[in-house]
Amino acid sequence: MNTIAVIEDDKYIGSLLEECLTAEGYHVIRAWSGTEALLLLEKQPPSLILLDLMLPGLSGEELLPRIRNTPVIILSARAGLDEKVDMLLGGAVDYITKPFEMKELLARITVQLRRQKDDITSENAVSESSSFVNNSSDSAVSTGLVITFGQLSFDTETRELLSPNGSVHLTRTETAILKKLMQNPERPVSKSALLEDISPDTPDCTESSLKIHVSNLRKKMKQAGIRETVESVWGIGFRFCQGK
Protein backbone atom coordinates (compact mmCIF):
# COMPACT_ATOMS: atom_id res chain seq x y z
CA MET A 1 0.00 0.00 0.00
CA ASN A 2 1.36 3.42 -0.96
CA THR A 3 1.66 5.98 1.83
CA ILE A 4 0.87 9.62 1.12
CA ALA A 5 1.93 12.41 3.48
CA VAL A 6 -0.50 15.33 3.64
CA ILE A 7 1.30 18.43 4.93
CA GLU A 8 -1.50 20.98 5.28
CA ASP A 9 -2.42 23.35 8.12
CA ASP A 10 -6.03 23.84 6.99
CA LYS A 11 -7.95 21.21 8.97
CA TYR A 12 -10.87 21.08 6.52
CA ILE A 13 -8.69 20.57 3.44
CA GLY A 14 -6.43 18.13 5.27
CA SER A 15 -9.37 16.03 6.49
CA LEU A 16 -10.97 16.06 3.04
CA LEU A 17 -7.74 14.86 1.46
CA GLU A 18 -7.30 12.15 4.06
CA GLU A 19 -10.86 10.91 3.58
CA CYS A 20 -10.64 10.80 -0.23
CA LEU A 21 -7.16 9.25 -0.33
CA THR A 22 -8.11 6.60 2.22
CA ALA A 23 -11.17 5.73 0.14
CA GLU A 24 -8.84 5.22 -2.84
CA GLY A 25 -6.78 2.70 -0.89
CA TYR A 26 -3.86 4.90 0.20
CA HIS A 27 -2.40 5.01 3.70
CA VAL A 28 -2.35 8.66 4.84
CA ILE A 29 -0.08 10.35 7.37
CA ARG A 30 -0.53 14.02 8.28
CA ALA A 31 1.42 17.02 9.52
CA TRP A 32 0.11 20.51 10.25
CA SER A 33 3.42 22.44 10.12
CA GLY A 34 6.74 22.25 8.33
CA THR A 35 8.60 21.48 11.55
CA GLU A 36 6.23 18.65 12.42
CA ALA A 37 6.55 17.36 8.85
CA LEU A 38 10.35 17.01 9.16
CA LEU A 39 9.97 14.75 12.17
CA LEU A 40 7.16 12.78 10.57
CA LEU A 41 9.02 12.18 7.30
CA GLU A 42 12.07 10.89 9.16
CA LYS A 43 9.99 8.34 11.05
CA GLN A 44 7.62 7.33 8.24
CA PRO A 45 9.05 7.92 4.75
CA PRO A 46 6.03 8.14 2.40
CA SER A 47 5.61 7.21 -1.25
CA LEU A 48 4.48 10.75 -2.15
CA ILE A 49 3.96 14.10 -0.43
CA LEU A 50 1.19 16.67 -0.84
CA LEU A 51 2.70 19.94 0.38
CA ASP A 52 1.06 23.26 1.16
CA LEU A 53 3.34 26.32 0.97
CA MET A 54 1.86 28.56 3.65
CA LEU A 55 2.64 26.49 6.73
CA PRO A 56 3.29 27.68 10.29
CA GLY A 57 6.86 27.37 11.51
CA LEU A 58 8.90 26.01 8.61
CA SER A 59 7.21 27.07 5.35
CA GLY A 60 6.65 24.82 2.36
CA GLU A 61 9.37 26.66 0.41
CA GLU A 62 11.85 25.99 3.21
CA LEU A 63 10.78 22.38 3.61
CA LEU A 64 10.94 21.39 -0.08
CA PRO A 65 14.79 21.45 -0.44
CA ARG A 66 15.05 19.14 2.58
CA ILE A 67 12.92 16.44 0.99
CA ARG A 68 14.84 13.86 -1.00
CA ASN A 69 13.90 10.79 -3.01
CA THR A 70 10.16 11.38 -2.59
CA PRO A 71 7.94 13.05 -5.21
CA VAL A 72 6.31 16.25 -3.96
CA ILE A 73 3.10 17.73 -5.35
CA ILE A 74 2.53 21.33 -4.29
CA LEU A 75 -1.03 22.28 -3.29
CA SER A 76 -1.24 26.05 -2.93
CA ALA A 77 -3.59 29.00 -3.25
CA ARG A 78 -0.75 30.92 -4.86
CA ALA A 79 -1.51 30.98 -8.57
CA GLY A 80 1.38 33.16 -9.77
CA LEU A 81 3.62 31.84 -12.54
CA ASP A 82 6.80 32.71 -10.61
CA GLU A 83 5.76 30.59 -7.63
CA LYS A 84 4.98 27.65 -9.89
CA VAL A 85 8.27 27.90 -11.77
CA ASP A 86 10.32 28.29 -8.57
CA MET A 87 8.75 25.23 -6.96
CA LEU A 88 9.08 23.06 -10.07
CA LEU A 89 12.70 24.08 -10.56
CA GLY A 90 13.23 23.58 -6.83
CA GLY A 91 12.35 19.90 -6.95
CA ALA A 92 8.55 19.57 -6.92
CA VAL A 93 7.15 17.16 -9.52
CA ASP A 94 3.82 18.98 -9.89
CA TYR A 95 1.98 22.11 -8.78
CA ILE A 96 -1.80 22.29 -8.30
CA THR A 97 -3.60 25.52 -7.50
CA LYS A 98 -6.33 25.64 -4.86
CA PRO A 99 -9.23 25.18 -5.20
CA PHE A 100 -8.72 21.96 -7.14
CA GLU A 101 -10.79 19.06 -8.42
CA MET A 102 -10.19 15.90 -6.41
CA LYS A 103 -10.49 13.76 -9.54
CA GLU A 104 -7.62 15.67 -11.17
CA LEU A 105 -5.45 15.44 -8.04
CA LEU A 106 -6.00 11.68 -7.81
CA ALA A 107 -4.99 11.30 -11.46
CA ARG A 108 -1.80 13.30 -10.93
CA ILE A 109 -0.95 11.22 -7.87
CA THR A 110 -1.42 8.03 -9.89
CA VAL A 111 0.89 9.34 -12.62
CA GLN A 112 3.67 10.23 -10.17
CA LEU A 113 3.49 6.91 -8.32
CA ARG A 114 3.58 5.07 -11.66
CA ARG A 115 6.68 7.03 -12.69
CA GLN A 116 8.32 6.29 -9.36
CA LYS A 117 7.69 2.57 -9.86
CA ASP A 118 9.07 2.73 -13.40
CA ASP A 119 12.18 4.56 -12.14
CA ILE A 120 12.90 1.82 -9.60
CA THR A 121 12.46 -0.88 -12.24
CA SER A 122 14.72 0.99 -14.67
CA GLU A 123 17.45 1.64 -12.09
CA ASN A 124 17.44 -2.01 -11.00
CA ALA A 125 17.86 -3.04 -14.64
CA VAL A 126 20.80 -0.65 -15.04
CA SER A 127 22.40 -1.97 -11.87
CA GLU A 128 22.07 -5.59 -12.97
CA SER A 129 23.24 -5.09 -16.54
CA SER A 130 26.19 -2.75 -15.75
CA SER A 131 25.47 -0.52 -18.73
CA PHE A 132 28.82 1.28 -18.71
CA VAL A 133 31.78 -1.06 -18.57
CA ASN A 134 34.34 0.77 -20.70
CA ASN A 135 37.01 2.07 -18.32
CA SER A 136 38.78 4.32 -20.83
CA SER A 137 39.42 7.90 -19.76
CA ASP A 138 36.65 9.32 -21.95
CA SER A 139 33.92 6.95 -20.76
CA ALA A 140 31.53 7.11 -17.84
CA VAL A 141 31.63 4.15 -15.47
CA SER A 142 28.53 3.04 -13.59
CA THR A 143 28.68 1.07 -10.35
CA GLY A 144 25.16 0.33 -9.21
CA LEU A 145 23.44 3.70 -9.02
CA VAL A 146 26.67 5.76 -9.08
CA ILE A 147 28.12 7.02 -12.38
CA THR A 148 31.71 8.31 -12.41
CA PHE A 149 33.63 10.38 -14.94
CA GLY A 150 36.97 12.01 -14.18
CA GLN A 151 36.73 13.70 -10.77
CA LEU A 152 32.95 13.52 -10.71
CA SER A 153 30.79 10.84 -9.12
CA PHE A 154 27.03 11.11 -9.47
CA ASP A 155 24.64 9.16 -7.24
CA THR A 156 21.46 8.91 -9.32
CA GLU A 157 19.43 7.63 -6.37
CA THR A 158 20.16 10.43 -3.88
CA ARG A 159 20.69 12.99 -6.70
CA GLU A 160 24.04 14.00 -5.19
CA LEU A 161 27.05 15.27 -7.16
CA LEU A 162 30.16 14.07 -5.35
CA SER A 163 33.59 15.65 -5.79
CA PRO A 164 36.83 16.05 -3.81
CA ASN A 165 35.49 19.42 -2.60
CA GLY A 166 32.15 18.17 -1.31
CA SER A 167 28.68 17.35 -2.61
CA VAL A 168 25.77 19.22 -4.21
CA HIS A 169 22.12 18.14 -4.42
CA LEU A 170 20.39 18.28 -7.81
CA THR A 171 16.72 18.71 -8.67
CA ARG A 172 14.86 15.89 -10.43
CA THR A 173 15.17 17.69 -13.79
CA GLU A 174 18.89 18.39 -13.39
CA THR A 175 19.39 14.74 -12.45
CA ALA A 176 17.63 13.51 -15.59
CA ILE A 177 19.67 15.85 -17.81
CA LEU A 178 23.04 14.96 -16.29
CA LYS A 179 22.28 11.24 -16.27
CA LYS A 180 21.48 11.31 -19.99
CA LEU A 181 24.58 13.35 -20.86
CA MET A 182 26.88 11.18 -18.72
CA GLN A 183 25.66 8.13 -20.62
CA ASN A 184 27.17 9.75 -23.74
CA PRO A 185 30.30 11.58 -22.50
CA GLU A 186 32.11 13.81 -24.98
CA ARG A 187 29.31 13.23 -27.51
CA PRO A 188 26.80 15.98 -28.40
CA VAL A 189 23.19 15.16 -27.53
CA SER A 190 20.55 17.10 -29.43
CA LYS A 191 17.97 19.12 -27.55
CA SER A 192 15.13 17.10 -29.03
CA ALA A 193 16.73 13.77 -28.06
CA LEU A 194 17.47 15.06 -24.57
CA LEU A 195 13.92 16.33 -24.04
CA GLU A 196 12.39 13.14 -25.39
CA ASP A 197 14.53 10.97 -23.13
CA ILE A 198 13.91 12.89 -19.90
CA SER A 199 10.23 13.78 -20.53
CA PRO A 200 8.79 10.82 -18.52
CA ASP A 201 10.58 12.10 -15.39
CA THR A 202 10.42 15.83 -16.03
CA PRO A 203 7.16 16.91 -17.71
CA ASP A 204 7.84 20.51 -16.66
CA CYS A 205 10.99 20.72 -18.80
CA THR A 206 10.44 22.29 -22.22
CA GLU A 207 12.80 23.48 -24.94
CA SER A 208 12.49 27.06 -23.63
CA SER A 209 13.33 26.07 -20.03
CA LEU A 210 16.04 23.52 -20.88
CA LYS A 211 18.73 26.21 -21.03
CA ILE A 212 17.76 27.40 -17.55
CA HIS A 213 18.06 23.89 -16.12
CA VAL A 214 21.45 23.38 -17.80
CA SER A 215 22.65 26.77 -16.53
CA ASN A 216 21.63 25.88 -12.97
CA LEU A 217 23.37 22.51 -13.33
CA ARG A 218 26.60 24.18 -14.46
CA LYS A 219 26.50 26.55 -11.47
CA LYS A 220 26.12 23.65 -9.06
CA MET A 221 28.98 21.75 -10.67
CA LYS A 222 31.18 24.82 -10.44
CA GLN A 223 30.10 25.33 -6.83
CA ALA A 224 31.34 21.82 -6.00
CA GLY A 225 34.66 22.53 -7.70
CA ILE A 226 33.99 19.94 -10.40
CA ARG A 227 36.30 20.19 -13.41
CA GLU A 228 33.90 18.41 -15.77
CA THR A 229 31.19 20.56 -17.34
CA VAL A 230 28.13 20.63 -19.59
CA GLU A 231 29.11 22.35 -22.81
CA SER A 232 26.75 23.90 -25.37
CA VAL A 233 27.23 22.61 -28.92
CA TRP A 234 26.01 25.27 -31.33
CA GLY A 235 23.15 24.15 -33.54
CA ILE A 236 22.89 20.75 -31.84
CA GLY A 237 22.47 20.72 -28.07
CA PHE A 238 24.78 19.85 -25.17
CA ARG A 239 27.54 17.46 -24.20
CA PHE A 240 29.20 16.35 -20.98
CA CYS A 241 32.96 16.72 -21.18
CA GLN A 242 36.27 17.34 -19.44
CA GLY A 243 36.69 20.95 -18.36
CA LYS A 244 39.44 22.98 -19.90
pLDDT digits (tens, 9 = 90+) for 96-148: 999 889 999 999 899 888 877 665 544 454 444 334 333 334 455 544 467 77
pLDDT at 64 over 70: yes
Helical axes 172-182 vs 191-198, angle rounded to 10°: 120
Domain that holds residue 134: 130-241
What's residue 203's pLDDT? 64
Residues 167 and 204 in one domain: yes
- Cα distance between residue 27 and residue 23, in whole Å: 9
Q: Are residues 206 and 230 in the same domain?
A: yes
138-168 as b/e: b if 16+ CB within 10 A: eebbbeeebbbbbbbbbbbeebbbbbeeeeb
Q: CA–CA distance from 164 to each of 41, 171, 184, 215 (Å)?
A: 30, 21, 23, 22
Give the pLDDT of residue 183: 79
Per-residue pLDDT tens digits for 122-131: 445 444 433 4
Q: Do 143 and 230 reside in the same domain of the chain?
A: yes
pLDDT in tens, 152-206: 778 777 888 777 666 788 888 888 888 888 877 778 888 888 888 777 766 667 7
Chosen domain end from 87, 103, 121 = 121
Torsion angle of C-alpha atoms 74, 75, 78, 83, degrees rounded to 10:
10
pLDDT, greater one: 146 or 9: 9
Please give the Cα distance from 213 to 229 (Å, whole number): 14
Task: Please compute the mean of the pLDDT values over residues 57-71 and round it to a whole number.
Answer: 89
Is the predicted pLDDT of residue 149 greater than 50, yes or no?
A: yes
Considering its fold, how many domains does the chain have in total? 2
